[in-house]
Chains A and B, each alone.
Chain A
Amino acid sequence: MQLIKPYGDTLNDGAVQLSFTLPVANGAKAIEAAIQYTKKLGFTEAEVVNAHPLSDDFTFFVVYGKTPLAIDYDKIVVEEIEKPMDFYGVNSYIKEHIQRKIAVIGACTGTDAHTVGIDAILNMKGWEQHYGLERYPMIDAFNLGAQILNEDLIRLAVEKNADAILVSQVVTQKDVHINNLTNFIELLEADGLRSQFIVLAGGPRISNKLALELGFDAGFGRGTYPEHVGSFIAKKMVEKMMR
């Protein structure tokens, strides 16, 4: 057993630095509330070292507390999960292991007019400060936009020598996405092209499980960032090359 606590300036002092805002006006009562609230969080000592009004109804606090709680470090178990690489990681991984730029083509196919998903993954800007694949120096990304026929997407993928094809589906009414995704894989297989590409499906209601069932290499749902897709493609390509 190895019991540990936060370290301020002495072993086991349990010192913790906190900062938070309470939705009340600054004053003696607000400060007392911050102290009592900190104690309620389990700290035995709580000292408000700074209280500043943010507006008439909000106050910002910096508080130091001491906690009596400890944790047995020996009992901590972590599962080693592979973290997706970030923007820089993906680019240097491609540079090192693939040694050329990779080409990615994507579209929102069928009648679906929603470009928001494919744009979030492919466009320069990306979303939530996660750059899209277009911005990756080691990736040539082609975003065909929405309402692209499966046939056209496949034709352009061949033309552009794409390594990976991204199919985005946002509308899922009457399972239109399932039919469309299934049709895409069937067309690829009919043309004998399936093994040539890494094929990914994405959309707010697409899961990895569903995509695998339909014959894709992976599926990406809500909350996916471009680097998740970039990481997957790069690693999958290396895996394929090694085979």
Chain B
Amino acid sequence: MNRSKLDLDPEKIDYAREISKKITQPVQDYISGHTTVSVERTTLRMLGADGIDANEVPVPNLIIQQLKERVGEGTAKFYINALLKKGLTPSALNSEIANGLDISTLEWAESAQIEKKAAELVQSFSSRVKENVGFRNEKLALHNSSQSTPLLYLIVATGNIYEDVKQAQGAAIQGADVIAVIRTTGQSLLDYVPFGPTTEGFGGTYATQENFKIMRKALDEVGEKIGKYIRLVNYCSGLCMPEIAVMGALERLDMMLNDSMYGILFRDINMYRTFVDQKFSRMVNSFAEIVINTGEDNYLTTSDAFEKAYTVTASQFINEQFAFESGMPARLMGLGHAFEMNPEMKNGFLFEMAQAQMAREIFPEAPLKYMPPTKYMTGDIFKGYAMNTLFNFIAKSTNQGILLLGMLTEAIHTPFMQDRYLGVANARYVLNSMADFSDDIEFKKDGIMQTRAKNVLDQSISFLEQINEKGLFNAIEQRMFAEVARPKNGGKGLDGVYEKTEGYYNPMYSFLARELKIN
């Protein structure tokens, strides 16, 4: 982008970034001093902990139960020590732990031995993930020409992973570039990750490592057949944010829904817990080159999309800072926004387009994730289809990165197979027929769209200034986001936050920090 079509002032954009950095800095200080049960379970999984006991409690959770108040020391050393003292492989040790072995009471191996073993396990995790990244990059390069721009993103949500596979393969054949498997209602509030393949869910399918593996294989198969690499998405949110990230890294997922504040605002998860968890989850995602999708669309389903457009922009700035601080490059930041203005509003299309173009210009490298209309979708499927066309038009003309396709039966039922086809057909028509439209247009100087974008940017800046003044923790507590107040010590999961002790040891964290060149 050589020049701003919207005539946005680059100094204002820089200034907004500066304040956002100031907003996130105190949070970073908190994060550095703390760990959580989910960060520790993630670390254990990276070292090889896996499996469940007779009561279906995952091994990483069993270890946390054993260590209780010692979690703040870092749990890695206990697991590595047990491997050494028992002379077992991770999978053999996992079985022992599942059968009742307590690793908190073993004698200590020498620390040099522990560090050596840690280095070996770090290496094995690193090679597996790097292999996944290599495979993905190779396939993407090979099939580069077969993917749509923006990427067409479709959702499956049957509750049964084997049924999901059929629908996902169908969606890929119909033209999807990206397949998301929606999670079952309430999974984000589980403080453990279920194990194995699952066939029952409510409104979606459990995210388990085995389900990831099954879907990955199915998409690779269909991809080979149609000459395309199909990206797989899941949800790296809730109480198990970083654990899901690591499962995705191991099973070669390509994108993760991952927002720095979504859990706090929309699932009432404690803010301290979320902030600590989101950082580690983003470090893992960055290392595995998984594109994150942030959840700004949610602000617009809560509040009016015209009035509160600035909250989206402000949240994008904050999400970006948190991501930078996790070592994430801009090319992996699928910052989110949505087409949710009231269709009855005069010039609504112009305001939507101004917003989308503004996001494009402020975050030039980010593969922006654009979400379709949902709030004003009704049983009038024909009108819904027309709205989706306008949405696709904006996505293409403002060069969005990831296009979540609108379903004409949104608000009626989970999509029929033909609904997905019609969604793809609509998008393909628009993408092709206006392929070079964005290069061919300019916006009228001081016209409706330029004025709107400038106003929203100004509003975002003053909103960010207010947040900075109060501090992010207080701002959330005082209802500044999404019209909801979340007390600092309220919400779920605070009991899983631990202050790091002086000798806190986490070789996986240190490894990722080195690789990503962060603290």
Contact = CB atoms under 8 A, between A and B. Distances in A.
Interface of A: 19-21, 52, 54-56, 58, 60, 115-116, 119-120, 123-125, 127-129, 131, 134-135, 137, 143, 145
A117 to B, nearest CB: 10
A56 B416 contact: no
A115 B186 CA distance: 9
B169 A55 contact: yes
A134 B484 contact: yes
A114 to B, nearest CB: 9
Given A119-B186, A124-B265, A125-B266, A58 B417 contact: yes
B229 interface: no
Contact of A128 (B174, B189, B203, B484): B203
B301 A19 contact: no
A19 B267 contact: no
Contacts of B267: 123-125
B201 to A, nearest CB: 12
Nearest to A137: B483
List the 7 shortest-distance A-B pairs measured between CB atoms, nearest first.
A60-B418, A55-B170, A55-B173, A124-B266, A116-B186, A21-B418, A125-B266
B357 interface: no
Interface residues of B, number: 26
A115 B189 contact: yes
A122 to B, nearest CB: 9
Given A54-B421, A60-B421, A124 B482 contact: yes
B416 A135 contact: no
B164 to A, nearest CB: 15
Taking chain A's interface residues, is the majority helix, strand, or loop, or is none over half, making it mixed? mixed
A86 to B, nearest CB: 11
A137 B304 CA distance: 11
Contacts of B483: 135, 137
10 contacts: A21-B418, A52-B421, A54-B417, A55-B173, A58-B417, A127-B185, A127-B203, A129-B411, A131-B301, A131-B302
A195 to B, nearest CB: 29
A54 B170 contact: yes
B71 to A, nearest CB: 22
Interface string B408-428: 001100001110010000000
Nearest to A116: B186
Contacts of A56: 173
Contacts of A52: 421
B313 interface: no
Nearest to A141: B484
Contacts of B170: 54-55, 58
B349 to A, nearest CB: 23
B492 interface: yes
Contacts of B268: 123-124, 143
Interface string B168-197: 011001100000000001100100000000
Given A54-B417, A60-B421, A123-B266, 9 more contacts: A20-B418, A21-B417, A52-B421, A54-B174, A55-B174, A56-B173, A129-B374, A129-B411, A145-B492
A134 B410 CA distance: 22
Contacts of A60: 417-418, 421
Contacts of B482: 124
Contacts of B265: 124
Interface in B461-493: 482-484, 492
Contacts of B417: 21, 54, 58, 60
A100 B437 CA distance: 50
Contacts of A19: 418
